Chains A and B, each alone.
Chain A
Amino acid sequence: MKRIGSLLSLALVIALFISGCTTPAPTGGGEAASAPAETIKVGGAFNLTGELSSLDVPAANGAKLALSEINAAGGIDGKQVELIIRDGKTDPATVANITTQLIDSDKVVAMIGFTDSDSALASGPLCQEAGIPFITAGATSPKLPSQVGDMMFLAPFGDNVQAAVGAEFAYDRFGPKAYLLWDKGTEYTTLLADYFKTRFAELGGEIVLEDTYQSGDKDFSAQIAKVKALGEQPDFYYISAVPDDIGTTVKQFREAGITGPIVGGDGYDTPLLVEVAGDAANNVFFTTHALMDPDNGSDAVKKFIADYNAEYGHDPENAFAALGYDTMKLIVDAIQRAGSTDGAAIAKAIEETQGFPGVAGELNYSASEHVPRKGVTMIEVKDGKFTLAAEMVPEKVPAP
C-alpha cells in the first residue's frame, strides 16, 4: 500500500506540473499593470537568487521603477507595458528554461536582464534564434554581440573599456609597477585581467607579479605571502574579482599589512565590499557605470536616487540599479520608435539610438556597435563611502 501512496503523490505532482504550466506569469512586484486590454510584454530575466543576486536584484528593482514611470506616463502609444520577471537562480540550465518560458509561454516581444556574461551567454542564443532583441543590463563582455548575434545588445560599456580606464588611471596616478591578481573561475574576471594587461603593457607599465585564485576561495594567504616576498612593493594592486569575493580579498590583503591602492572593475560595485571589508575598503578604486551619490552625482543620478528611495525605502545599492532602469527605458523607447513589436524592427531602432540620456551615462549605438560608447566612472572608497575619483573615456581600447 505504501508504494501506491508514492505513486499517487507522483501522479499528483505530474498533474500539478502540467496544469501549472498554464499559470499566468508573475509580473514584477505586483505593481505592474496587467490590464485586460492588450499590453506590450517585455521579459525580465534576472538572477534574483544565487551568486549574482547582489547585482541582479538592484537591476530588477531599477527596471521595475522604470516600468511604473513608463506606465504612469501612458505606456507606449496608450498601451500599458508589462514586465514579466523570472528568476534564473544563477544556474545556466534554469536561465535557459526561463528564457524559453518568457519567449514561448509568456510571448514577450523583447528581453532585458542579467548582469553577468555567463548568464547572458546561456540566454542570448535562445533570443537570437527566436528573433527577440535582448539588452543585457549589466553583462560587460564585449565579445557577446559577436558570440550571440545581431539581437544582442549591451547597456553597459565593455570590459575592454573599463580595463583600459583602470590601466590609464592607475598608471597616471600611482605608477608603472603593478601587481595583478585575477579570478580564474569566471569569464568576466579572466577577460578583465586580460584587457588590463594589454593596455597596461601598451602604456609602458610593468606587471611585477601575476597571480590567480578560484572563485569562492576564502583564504588568500598563499597569494599574500608571494606579494610580501617582493623586494619592492608595486605602485598598486589590480585585483579582478566578482562581488562575492572582493570583500574577503581586500580585508585579508589589508590585514596582512598591504596598504597600497587596490584597483579593480565593476565587480567591486556592491554593498558587500564595505560590509565585509569594513575599514579595509579604504584606498580601494574601481571602475563602474555611475556613482550613486545623492550629493555628488549628476542631476539624473540625484533624481533616480530620490525616486528609488521613495519606491523601495533605501538608496540604490549600486550602479546596476541605474543600469536596470536605463535598460528598461531604452527598450521601451526603441519599441516606441520602431512603431511595432517586430523583433527585427526593435533591434534596428536600438541600433539607431543616439544620445539616449541614461542615468548611468549617455547611450549611443550603431549597426556595427552593439556595445555602447560610454564614459567610465572611477570610484574611490573613502571612510567607508563611495566617492568620485574621476570620470574618464579611455584613450585607447584593446580589441575585444
Chain B
Amino acid sequence: MDDSLSRSASITQPAPWQRYAGVATPLLLLLLVTFYLQWAGSAYIQRVWIILGLDIILVTSLNLFNGFTGVFSLGHVGFMAIGAYVSAILTLPLEKKATNLPDLPAWLAHTQLGFLPAILIGGLAATLVALVIGRPVLRLSGHYVAVATLAFLVIVRVILINATPYTRGSRTFSGTPAYTTVWWVYAWAVVTVYVAWRVLRSPYGRAMLAQREDRAAARSIGVRVLRSRMWAFGISAFLTGVAGALWGHYILSFSPNAFYFAETFSIITMLVVGGMGSISGSVIGTILVVLLSEVLRNLEGGFSLGVVQIPSLYGMSQILMAILFIIILIFRREGLMGGHEIDLTRLYVPDFWQSLFRRKEV
C-alpha cells in the first residue's frame, strides 16, 4: 500500500447529514441575521429586511421557472397580483368589505378568512390560472413565449382594473389587515428555497434541465417537454402567488399599477444579476440588488467624502443600478453565480480542514 492509494481511500463521499448541513448553513445565517435585526435593528432596517425576504421568494420562484426550464417568463408578476388580490379580498374585515367593496356577491361579502388559509387559496388561484394558460403558452419557445407571458401580465392587469366590484378597479385597495411579519416572510422563503432545491434534484427537475439544454434531444429520450414545463409553471405560480399575498398584507394598500412593468423588471434584474438556474444565485442576487439600491438611495441626498461634498442627485440610485446591470450583462452574462450553487458541504467534512494544514506532498 503506497501513499497515493491510501490518500485516495480517504476521499469519501460526504454523508447525507453533511450535505444537508452544507445547504442549511446559509439559511441559518440568514435566520440569525433576522433575529439580530428584530432585536437590535431600527424599524426602517426591519422594513428593508422584510422586503428583502419577499423579493427572495419572488426571485427564487421565478428562477424555478425561468432558470430551470429555460423559458423566459415576463408575466410572473401577474401571479403575484392574483395572489395579492385573492388573499386580500378574503381577509378584508367584514365592515371594510361593506364600505370598500359594496358590490361583492353575498357569499364573498360574508366571508373572512384567517391569514394562512387566505395565502394558500391565493397561491392555489394563481396555480389554477397558470395551469389554464400554461397549456397553450408553454408550447412556444424563445422570444414568442416571452411575449405571450407579457401579454398574460397585461391581461391580468386589465381584468383587475375592470373587475371593479371585486377589486375596486384602479382605485387603491386599502384596509388589508397587517398580518405579514418578518417570520411569516422568512418561513415562506425557507419553504421556497427548499422546494426549489428538491425540485431541482428530482426526476422532474432533471427533465426540466434536459429540455432546457436541448429540446429535441430531450424528447428523443422520452422527456415530456410540455409536462415538465407545466410542473415548473404551476409550482412557481403557487409560490409567486404566496409572495403576492404576503406582499399585499405587508404594504397594506395597493392597486393594479403595483403589479406591472416596474415590479417585473425589478425582479428580473435581481434574477439576472444572481444568475439564472442557480438557487443560491437568486438569493445572492436579490440580497445584492436590494441592499445596494437601499444604500445608494440613502446617499442620494448628498454626502461627504472627507473634504469633498457630493451634492444631492435624486434618481442616482436607479441610474447606478442600471449601469451595474449593463456591466454584469457585458462581462458576466451568466450572472454572479453562473449556474453554480454555493455548496458549503466541505465545511462539515473534517478532511477539508485537515487539508488546509497538511503540508503539500512533494
Q: Interface residues, chain A, CB within 8 Å of chain B?
A: 3, 6-7, 9-10, 13-14, 16-18, 20-21, 23, 25-27, 29-30, 48-49, 85-87, 89, 91-94, 96-97, 100-101, 103-105, 117-118, 121-122, 125, 147, 184-187, 190-191, 214-215
Binds A, one of B102-110, B138-146, B297-305: B297-305
Q: Are the C-beta atoms of A97 and B174 separated by less than 8 Å?
A: no
Q: Are the C-beta atoms of B253 and A125 separated by less than 8 Å?
A: yes
Q: Which residues of B contact A18 (CB under 8 A)?
A: 45
Among B47, B256, B292, B311, point to the contact of A13 (Cβ < 8 A).
Answer: B292
Q: How many A-B Cβ pairs are below 8 Å?
A: 126
Q: Which residues of B contact A93 (CB under 8 A)?
A: 51, 251
Q: Are the C-beta atoms of B311 and A23 separated by less than 8 Å?
A: no
With the chains together, A340 CA to B172 CA distance in Å?
35
> Is B318 in the interface zone, CB < 8 Å from A?
yes
Q: Which residues of A contact B253 (CB under 8 A)?
A: 92, 118, 121-122, 125
B109 to chain A minimum Cβ distance, whole angstroms, is 20
Known: A105-B44, A185-B257, A215-B257. 15 other contacts (CB 8 A): A10-B288, A13-B295, A14-B287, A16-B295, A17-B295, A18-B45, A20-B295, A27-B301, A91-B262, A101-B44, A104-B42, A121-B172, A122-B251, A147-B175, A186-B170
Q: Are the C-beta atoms of B45 and A21 separated by less than 8 Å?
A: yes
Chain B: interface residue total (CB-CB under 8 A)? 49
Q: Which residues of A contact B297 (CB under 8 A)?
A: 87, 94
Q: Which residues of B contact A122 (CB under 8 A)?
A: 251, 253
Q: Which residues of B contact A96 (CB under 8 A)?
A: 47, 251
Q: Are the C-beta atoms of A87 and B300 separated by less than 8 Å?
A: yes
B273 to chain A minimum Cβ distance, whole angstroms, is 10
Q: Are the C-beta atoms of A187 and B172 separated by less than 8 Å?
A: yes
Q: Are the C-beta atoms of B311 and A147 separated by less than 8 Å?
A: no
Q: Which residues of A contact B170 (CB under 8 A)?
A: 184-187, 190, 215
* Interface SS of chain A: helix
With the chains together, A101 CA to B41 CA distance in Å?
12
With the chains together, A215 CA to B169 CA distance in Å?
13
Binds A, one of B11-19, B126-134, B224-232, B334-342: B334-342
Q: A48-B315, A125-B252 are in contact. Are A21 and B300 (CB under 8 A)?
A: no
With the chains together, A89 CA to B300 CA distance in Å?
12
B234-260 at interface with A (beta carbon < 8 Å) = 251-258
Q: Are the C-beta atoms of B171 and A190 separated by less than 8 Å?
A: yes
Q: Which residues of B contact A103 (CB under 8 A)?
A: 43
Q: Are the C-beta atoms of A118 and B288 separated by less than 8 Å?
A: no
> Is B312 in the interface zone, CB < 8 Å from A?
yes
B155 to chain A minimum Cβ distance, whole angstroms, is 13
A222 to chain B minimum Cβ distance, whole angstroms, is 14
> What are 12 pairs between A and B in contact, CB < 8 Å?
A6-B284, A21-B45, A30-B302, A92-B253, A97-B47, A117-B172, A118-B255, A122-B251, A125-B252, A125-B253, A147-B175, A191-B171
